[in-house]
Structure 1
């Protein structure tokens, strides 16, 4: 004896199928990040190293030493 199967009703679709579209920033942000990184790769002279605080530099060096262990 087989049991009857229950199917779910399909959800109502919105006019224009807006549920399937992405917001504008979901495409714009990755494109912006890609172009910025590509510009740095193509012209590395524009990527200036920041003259940071020696304490921060020391902290990063110490963290690198701890991770390397």
Structure 2
């Protein structure tokens, strides 16, 4: 049994590249980035973290901006 192939609504022009990404190909990496960023910025989970107070202050300011 032969499988049917989908035809393009507009034929591609010679020399052009036709790349179409599904919506989730951009949404999932963006969601993962935001989730990991929020996990890093959560000060409640950073009990053992000791570091430069300037870096800690910077992360606190970013968290305040994100949570507004």
**What TM bracket, shorter-length normalisation?**
0.3 to 0.5
Higher relative contact order at CA 8 Å, sep ≥6: structure 1 or structure 2? 2
| Greater fraction helix | 1
